[in-house]
Structure 1
Amino acid sequence: MKPSRFHLTRKKLNMKQILFSLVLAGGVTFAAQAQSEQYNDAMKQQVGLLDSSNTYNAGGMQQLANTFERIAQAEQTQWLPYYYAAYCRVNEAYMTKDKGKIDELADMALVNAEKAQALKGKDADINCILSMILSARIGVDPMTRGMKYGPESAAVLEEAKKMDPENPRVYMLQGQALLYTPEAFGGSKTKAKEMFEVALTKFAAAKPASSIVPQWGEAYTKMLIEQIK
């Protein structure tokens, strides 16, 4: 029995629907790949500027933070733009000469860090930023704030170390805290140098998953060791 014209037509329609679905799926995949490449290119460019002497100042950090925030708004499922925006905002807080702006900048950094954490989950590098934010707040009034934010910052770093014992930035920040804390309150240049040397060993052994994941800190660690000498 020959298939009716209706069945032949229906088969043709089904084939067209399948082909259309395949073409559509291919188009979506291509578009996603193009978007991913655009995102990676934009991130590589901005991350590459983080250690530049031209941007390592309050104004430069502000511009980079603004750019990372724009990338984050365009790529709302990616945690790294929020992370780097937080990193730049907290560095701007450290670098500003206006103490009245420190808390505002720290708050902006915290918002971005929390958004990064909501996407990524608990993460040692995000904890490093959270610790830096707490330490930055001390700068508003070290005599009254040091006793509150110092221990909180240290506790966040200890949590980071438990999450990722091989993260060099944890040891760098712990060394920095020892270096800038008065000896009467537990600071020590000798212990700071030891911590910096551990950090450099961890930096040398690190194998980043990509060029845009957190890698900052090695050059700064070397600078702090020279400062002790």
Structure 2
Amino acid sequence: MKHLRTLSLTLFALLTALVAGAQSPQYQEAMAKQVALLDEGSSYNPQTMLEISNTFERIAATEQNQWLPYYYAAYAQVMSAFMQENDKDKMDALADKADMNIGKAEALQPDNDEIACIKSLIATVRISVDPPSRGQQYGPESGAQLVKAKQLNPENPRVYLLEGQALYYTPEQFGGDKVKAKEVLEQALQKFTAFKPASNIAPHWGEARAKQLLAEMN
């Protein structure tokens, strides 16, 4: 009897996990629509990014067991923040929101390289608000998240994109290196060529940005 009880509890736990991880057609459709918007260049303006992030937050409120809506909400908020450099308060507020959403994603999906990439970007937003006073605090945090992401998945092209981007924009006296940046970004493009996202809603952003940065360098 004890063996049967243990087996029943194990099967129940497995069934619960499968149900929790199940993705409804409505969820897939809603996510695919918003992710497709992120793939459109016309979406890359502060207001549209905020609208997309709000939609992802609504999806997350309905599908609280899925990490991707929280992830994409954070990503869109970060992208919006980078486009609002003239409003430092808004940048910080968006970084706060992104931090909250990526924390929820991480609670559902710990030790995830894509989440580490977003955490690195959030730290970079913090630096951008006031580089002289914040660089020493958030620079190591941003770098540490990329190190973690590369350890978790050395084939993730977004890791190399963000690493190259950081090398490109960081002043040389603080560790920047444009020659090294070009090498890393070229490596990122190689990784993008080989990269195959797990699904149409899995993270796959960044290739266009890598090409843009290399074009600037050339």
TM-score by length of 2: 0.88
Structure 2 residue matching 1:84: 3-state secondary structure: helix
1:79 to 55, 67, 73: 67
Q: Aligned ranges for residues 145-160 of structure 1 at < 5 Å?
A: 145-160=134-149
Cα offset for 1:54?
Answer: 2.1
Paired letter, 2:39: D
List per-residue Cα deviations over 1:160-194 (Å, max 9, x = no partner): 10000000000000000000001111111111111
Distance in structure 1 (CA, Å) of the matches to 2:140 and 2:127: 11
CA–CA distance in 1 between the matches of 2:40 and 2:83?
15
Q: Can you give the 5+ residue segments of structure 1 that lack an aligned partner in the other structure?
A: 1-28
Identify the match of residue 58 of structure 2 among 70, 73, 79: 70
- Secondary structure at the residue paired with 1:60? helix
Instruction: Give the aligned residue type for 2:31.
Output: M
State percent identity of aligned pairs: 57
Give the total of aligned pairs. 198
CA RMSD of aligned residues (A): 1.5
Matched residue, 2:182: 193
Relative to the length of structure 1, the TM-score reads 0.84
For the pair 1:144 / 2:133, whether they are aligned, the reply is yes
Residue type at the aligned position of 1:181: T
Which whole-Å CA distance do the structure 1 matches of 2:136 and 2:66 have between them? 35
Counterpart residue identity of residue 37, structure 2: L
Structure 1 residue 169 corresponds to structure 2 residue 168: no
Asked if 1:43 corresponds to 2:43, the answer is no
Partner of 2:119: 130
Looking at structure 1, the residues matched to 93 and 30 of structure 2 have their Cα atoms a distance apart, in angstroms, of 27
* Cα drift, residue 53 of structure 1: 2.4
Q: Which residue of 2 aligns with 1:213?
A: 202
Long gaps (5+) in structure 2: 1-18
User: In the aligned structure 2, how far is the partner of 1:55 from the partner of 1:48?
Assistant: 10
2:216 and 2:119 map into 1 onto residues whose CA distance is 25
Provide the residue aligned with 1:5 in structure 2.
Answer: none
Once the two structures are superposed, what CA deviation does each residue of 1:43-69 show, in whole Å capped at 9, x if it has no partner?
A: 111000113222101111100000000
Report deviation, 1:215: 0.2
Residue number in structure 1 paired with 2:10 = none
Whole-angstrom CA distance in 2 between matches of 1:60 and 1:145: 28
Q: Which has the larger radius of gyration?
A: 1
Aligned equivalents of 1:120, 1:100: Cα separation in 2: 30
Read off the aligned partner of 1:189 and give its amino acid letter. K
Residue type of the partner of 2:108? L
- The CA distance in 1 between the partners of 2:39 and 2:48, in whole Å, is 11
Who is 1:19 aligned against? none
